A and B are shown apart, each in its own frame.
Chain A
Amino acid sequence: MRRLKVFKSLVKDSLDTITHGSRRYHIWMAVLTFVMLVGMYCYAIQLDQGLSVTGMTDRVSWGLYISNFTFLVGVAAAAVMLVMPTYVLKDIDFKQAVLIGEGLAVSALIMCLAFVVADMGGPSVLWHMLPGIGVFNFPNSMLTWDVLVLNGYLFLNITIPFYILFRHYQGKESKSSVYVPGAILSVFWAVAIHLVTAFLYQGLQARPFWNNALLGPRFLASAFAAGPALIILVLAIIRNCTEFKIQDKTIKKIAMVVTVAAQINLIMLVSELFKEFYAPTHHSESAYYLFFGLHGKDALLPWIWTAIPLNVLATVLLTFHKLRNNFKVLFFCCFILFIAIWIEKGFGLIVPGFIPGPYGKIAEYLPTKIEVGVTLGIWALGAFVFTILAKTAIGIELGKLRYKKK
């Protein structure tokens, strides 16, 4: 009963916090709301007319939505890079960053689920997928695995920070015996969500571009580069805009993580390129299409040739300690790395899987405005959710939000 009262007060307080802020904050939230509304309008059109309003066809049957979904699973998984040292290895440096990281994971997961729902042809019958009342094709379908691990991860990432914040809100220390097991579990879980998502594609013998053993590990490597890179950027913004203290040391440690992951990712990229182009087979056609175009069709060339140089540049810059420790360079590197991996893991991975088709036919894919609108709307939703979570969490951590006994 008492807990319920505290919870009620927490909700009230956090509502209070998120509705108050600087002018910049209000503008930010207003813009997000506007983009979300535009996205909802686009989605309404899509609901009404069907997925034909998107650029997808029978040939390329997954597009921008699934690309973003794949990328965001990686971002969500990356929160673990902060959880592990903080909770398990007791590295105090990450303590402040970790709540932000988990908030990021939650909003990324919400975006993931939103993208999946947006991609469905029949969202009104999605209950068919609920275990218990629908038919859940477990364990055969990797998609059911993905549903399980994503929702499980979402649950973990909501409960752990909530517990900690709830305790702090009451002015108590959180008990490590309660949250550490959850944290350890979430470490395994994070690896699982990304591997399972990779297996979703990797298990399809019909698509040789995906059907390679390196896909899973590469997913992990790129996720652990892009996710923490995003966290660094977010931390930088938070440092600037709030009184929340984040030490240089923390950012530098995360930068180290980004660097190592980016290096591994680059090595895997080289290995993949070697396999596709040293002894090209019939199965290398998708890679040819992606990097050089096929039969005069080359819609992906600008994308991938933006991504690769950015990726290489960021990795090289990050490798030098001196450059990495310069925050301006670091933020720049993180930004371009994030963009590069977004292209590589999204468009550069999903679309060429379908091109050329099973019988060598090439139909190119270009997202329509409505598709882009929905996508932006979902990103705005993610940013919105994150802002709310982060604002509340920072408020509690700074001690501004405290439970007052009446």
Chain B
Amino acid sequence: MNRNLYKYILVGLCLVALFSCKHGEGEYHGVTERIEAESKNYHGTPISSEKYLEGLETIEISEDGHTFLIPDRKGQIKSYACTECHSKPLAQMQSKDLKKAHWDIKLNHANSNTMNCVTCHNPDNMDELKSLTGNTIDFNNSYNLCSQCHTKQFEDWKGGAHGKRIGGWAPPRASMTCVNCHNPHKPHFESRWPARFNTEKVKERE
């Protein structure tokens, strides 16, 4: 009788062991593999972030196989076009007793050996920017100006590793352009106080 009992117990234990084997889950070895496998037949999603871009003037750019939207710049600059005021050559405007306009701009971008106003602005054509070699660059495409030096950041920006998305994650992609975050005359981020302080955490760790 005892022998039978042991048999039952043994069978029972085996069943429990069998039943407790984890199943499923292990389809992929890791998430990278899963991404690779599942994105092979990616058909796109119905989710779109288009409605979050409403009311925002954008222009489409295509660089290096990356096509996306950036905010329109010219519409954002106060009193564009510049030639509305800059009707005369700069030298004349400086000497005359005109109302001061850009007097508070202090250039804090690289050092004065590397950059001054005319590195980017064309004194002869205020409505356009100019490249180092003297070609004109549209204000809307100012990233072309920045990318002359900041090549690494430009690469990252095109891919999406640098800069910030507008709207949402879903296509169409709209990204901020350089000057949306960086003031071109003073491109670094200011230091400031953190947005909040957690007093409960202090208590908890006393």
Q: Assess A188 versus B205: contact at CB under 8 Å? Given A139-B19, A177-B1.
A: no
B152-206 interface with A by 8 A CB criterion: 204-205
Q: Are A59 and B5 in contact (CB under 8 A)?
A: no
What residues on B are CB-neighbors of A57 within 8 Å?
Answer: 204
What residues on A are CB-neighbors of B5 within 8 Å?
Answer: 181, 184
Checking A59, A180, A185, A188 against B204 with a beta-carbon cut-off of 8 angstroms, the contacting residue is A59
| Proximity string of chain A (57-74) to chain B, C-beta cutoff 8 Å, 1 when within and 0 when not | 111000000000000000
Least distance between B200 CB and chain A CB atoms (Å): 9
Q: Are B20 and A361 in contact (CB under 8 A)?
A: no
A363 at the interface (CB under 8 A from B): yes
A362 at the interface (CB under 8 A from B): yes
Q: Are B22 and A140 in contact (CB under 8 A)?
A: yes
Least distance between A343 CB and chain B CB atoms (Å): 24
Cα–Cα, bound, A216→B86 (Å) = 83
What residues on B are CB-neighbors of A140 within 8 Å?
Answer: 22
What residues on B are CB-neighbors of A177 within 8 Å?
Answer: 1
What residues on A are CB-neighbors of B19 within 8 Å?
Answer: 139
Least distance between B206 CB and chain A CB atoms (Å): 8
Chain A's closest residue to B1 (CB) is A177
Question: Which of B1, B19, B204 is the most central at the interface, judged by chain A CB atoms within 10 Å of its CB?
Answer: B204
Cα–Cα, bound, A338→B22 (Å) = 38
B9 at the interface (CB under 8 A from A): yes
Cα–Cα, bound, A224→B41 (Å) = 58
Cα–Cα, bound, A58→B200 (Å) = 11
Cα–Cα, bound, A139→B24 (Å) = 13
| Proximity string of chain A (314-332) to chain B, C-beta cutoff 8 Å, 1 when within and 0 when not | 0000000000000000000
A191-243 interface with B by 8 A CB criterion: none
Cα–Cα, bound, A70→B9 (Å) = 27
Least distance between B87 CB and chain A CB atoms (Å): 61
Cα–Cα, bound, A57→B201 (Å) = 10
Checking B13, B20, B204 against A363 with a beta-carbon cut-off of 8 angstroms, the contacting residue is B204
Q: Assess A361 versus B205: contact at CB under 8 Å? Given A139-B19, A139-B20.
A: yes
A351-369 interface with B by 8 A CB criterion: 361-363
Cα–Cα, bound, A56→B118 (Å) = 64
Least distance between A175 CB and chain B CB atoms (Å): 12
Q: Are A363 and B1 in contact (CB under 8 A)?
A: no
| Proximity string of chain A (355-386) to chain B, C-beta cutoff 8 Å, 1 when within and 0 when not | 00000011100000000000000000000000
| Proximity string of chain A (134-171) to chain B, C-beta cutoff 8 Å, 1 when within and 0 when not | 00000110000000000000000000000000000000
Checking B9, B13, B22 against A184 with a beta-carbon cut-off of 8 angstroms, the contacting residue is B9
Chain A's closest residue to B200 (CB) is A57
What residues on A are CB-neighbors of B1 within 8 Å?
Answer: 177
What residues on A are CB-neighbors of B22 within 8 Å?
Answer: 139-140
What residues on B are CB-neighbors of A58 within 8 Å?
Answer: 204
| Proximity string of chain B (1-43) to chain A, C-beta cutoff 8 Å, 1 when within and 0 when not | 1100100010001000001101000000000000000000000
Question: Which of B2, B13, B205 is the most central at the interface, judged by chain A CB atoms within 10 Å of its CB?
Answer: B205
Q: Are B9 and A362 in contact (CB under 8 A)?
A: no
Cα–Cα, bound, A362→B205 (Å) = 6
What residues on B are CB-neighbors of A59 within 8 Å?
Answer: 204-205
Cα–Cα, bound, A177→B2 (Å) = 9
Cα–Cα, bound, A69→B123 (Å) = 81
Q: Are B9 and A185 in contact (CB under 8 A)?
A: yes
What residues on A are CB-neighbors of B204 within 8 Å?
Answer: 57-59, 363
A interface list, Cβ under 8 A from B: 57-59, 139-140, 177, 180-181, 184-185, 188, 361-363
Which 6 pairs of residues, A with B, have the shortest CB-CB distance? A139-B20, A363-B204, A363-B205, A181-B5, A57-B204, A139-B19
A188-B9, A363-B204 provided; 11 other pairs, C-beta below 8 A? Answer: A58-B204, A139-B19, A139-B22, A140-B22, A177-B1, A180-B2, A181-B5, A184-B9, A188-B13, A362-B205, A363-B205
A/B interface sample: 20 pairs, CB < 8 A: A57-B204, A58-B204, A59-B204, A59-B205, A139-B19, A139-B20, A139-B22, A140-B22, A177-B1, A180-B2, A181-B5, A184-B5, A184-B9, A185-B9, A188-B9, A188-B13, A361-B205, A362-B205, A363-B204, A363-B205
